[in-house]
Structure 1
């Protein structure tokens, strides 16, 4: 988990900043089975994602609410960004993977080299 340093920062601005902090960034909840599954998917592909466990951060609820607003859905976890670009929640990640679109995105972001 990465520490959060800018406590006066707007939650949506923080999401944008953190989402750009790595080739693959996952906003997660440590007790969420879907979050665990998406982290395993990326690790199984040889990707080392940057993971922010929102339930372990004192202002994580604010970030989660910002992610829900960004996605326009009621439940957002996990939320994945590749190369700073929003991929989406688990359903969008899996759809991208199944369609064959995820690997080229990962390669373009520098998360995969094969």
Structure 2
């Protein structure tokens, strides 16, 4: 009798805590445009800015560093999370699908 009650209760608790633990992942997944995400996944290291802009469109955010030729371009994803590409020597050096705010 105790197992008939204990197993469903443990399953419900497990589902609840799993949803709570992965809530940020789930929210981000639900609010991400799948078409844009598929295009972003095609971005490769070493591509130039015009190649990436042809694939993703004009960036909404840009960040340039003082005394450096490095810069970051960003496209919105959800709330304060953006897709971002860091360029060094006019080539994509770092690609991030979870860059913070600009």
TM-score (norm 1): 0.29
Q: Which has the higher strand share?
A: 2
TM-score (norm 2): 0.31
Q: Which has the higher helix share?
A: 1
Greater Rg, structure 1 or structure 2?
A: 2
